[in-house]
Structure 1
């Protein structure tokens, strides 16, 4: 006699491969520093298990030297969006790319990285439907350096991206002076500021990236990406180990910031609003 089941069907949320490795701590560090996975964790002292994550991709590592040697050459296939940005990130981080970015007969654009354990990671994106925005190469006249912005430069950039600032110049100047570092993109032929990003914080444990702007005439030319790489360079050189670096952005720009190691987080905010006198 057949009975009717009333329980809901099982629902699978995601799958995580577990790779056998010789050194969990070194592996997690490699996947974080070289393959740019922002989420990372370890278990045990010294670590005998750990993992990394990046949005929907999760990989775990378990320490087993014998199995790691026997199973060397394991493969992981990861589907991504905006693969060309990721490919450039992995080139910049000196990942060992054993198959360069190329179209494959099965309809995907792919490249392959060999990790420190001799395992292979394929990053792939559909050849059709890849929603990468078109971007021109960085113009030769653009240079990015660390320097202060003037209030006039700030207001010009803010106006070009549609931001308004009711603050008087003296208040705006205090905000600019409070920045620990400001990355400024310039047109080297004119000295005009065409983009910027400010780093605020206590200089010890917390850093906040604010007011990332690129003038409308210079967008889609790799200016913003170059500014964020300069921000990352300064943080890597100056922020103490274990520091928290934060920023606020909408979903539309989340992948842009992920190329410099940022990942989604949960939090709460409160805006201070004082009644206007008069």
Structure 2
């Protein structure tokens, strides 16, 4: 039976700030010539509206002198790549940098520019590992193998890395039983599971790697790399030719996974929210 009452679900595809400014033309010129935004446009003669673009960043400006004075000090936070090169460019163009490039406690490198309207633009990028201590060699007591995790081992690793998990032991057991392979790093001296990676999939054309974890006491000792090598070796043997291997990760961890042959790809996700289905 057809359901003619099904309505399309709304989704948010794009957002951009609209800043009140005194002079749209001069503002667009500044963001183009000083801050470097290549895309720029204005509307009206003289301009009463305009904007700039740069890859995924879009900023609009509206002529509103009263609003510009009342809202002076507005802030736009822009995430970038190659932040050091951008920082150098803004220095060369004599942008008014009011906070110099620094690593922040929340894991980003950031600097702040004050524009000609008195508004603040924060440019930010995930902090690199430059200046951090390098990983230690993997201890000789660590071994990796393929085996099932117990629920207690799985929960211990989840708690160790700071993930929130309130699921019951029964549900965690079901999740572990649904795997096609589990790579486990053990402390051979005690038999303790100190790291893992779960592989799910149909066993034929698609495999998905999730829950790559290393106990906090064993991090930066190349345990995670050893776990991923164990996963790669298993997939090289058991995954059919042409199978797709997927995982989700943050930008900061991309180089780690690239070591085992993963590359960036465009994707889309949907997360079920039962509260919206009632």
- Normalising to structure 2: TM-score of the pair? 0.52
Q: Which residue does 2:243 correspond to in 1?
A: 243
How far, CA to CA, are the matches of 2:259 and 2:246 in structure 1? 14
Query: Which structure is larger by alpha-carbon Rg, 1 or 2?
Result: 2
In the alignment, does 2:268 pair up with 1:268?
Answer: yes
- Provide closer, same or farther for how the CA distance between residues 174 and 229 of structure 1 changes in structure 2, counting only shifts above 3 A: same
Match of 2:194 in 1: 194
- Deviation of 1:215 after TM superposition, in Å, equals 0.2
Offset at 1:132?
7.3
Structure 1 position 225 matched with structure 2 position 232: no
Structure 1 ranges of 4+ moved more than 2 A: 129-133
1:145 aligned residue: 145
Q: Mind listing any 5+ residue stretches in structure 2 that lack a counterpart?
A: 1-128
The alpha-carbon distance between structure 1 residues 210 and 203, as it changes in their structure 2 partners (threshold 3 A), is same
Cα distance in 1 for residues equivalent to 2:232 and 2:131:
25
Match of 1:59 in 2: none
Root-mean-square deviation (CA, aligned residues, Å) is 1.8
Structure 2 residue matching 1:254: 3-state secondary structure = helix
Stretch of structure 1 that moved more, 161-170 or 258-267: 161-170
Deviation at residue 153 of structure 1 after TM alignment:
0.5
Alignment of 1:60-75 (within 5 A): none
Displacement, 1:273? 1.4
The verdict on how the C-alpha distance between 1:148 and 1:136 changes in structure 2, with shifts beyond 3 A counting, is same
Q: How far apart are the structure 1 equivalents of 2:132 and 2:229?
A: 19
Residue ranges of structure 1 left out of the alignment (5+ in a row): 1-128
Q: Write the deviation string for residues 214-263 of structure 1: whole angstroms up to 9, x where unpaired.
A: 00000000100000000000000000000000000001100000000000
1:274: Cα distance to partner?
1.1
Query: Which structure exhibits the higher relative contact order, with contacts defined as CA atoms closer than 8 Å and separated by 6 or more residues?
Result: 1
> Where do 1:95-244 residues align within 5 Å?
134-244=134-244
TM-score with structure 1 length normalisation? Answer: 0.52
Cα deviation for residue 164 of structure 1 reads: 1.5
Distance in 2 of aligned mates of 1:167 and 1:239: 30
CA–CA distance in structure 2, aligned partners of residues 214 and 244 of structure 1: 25
How many aligned residue pairs are there? 149
- Give 1:133 shift: 5.2
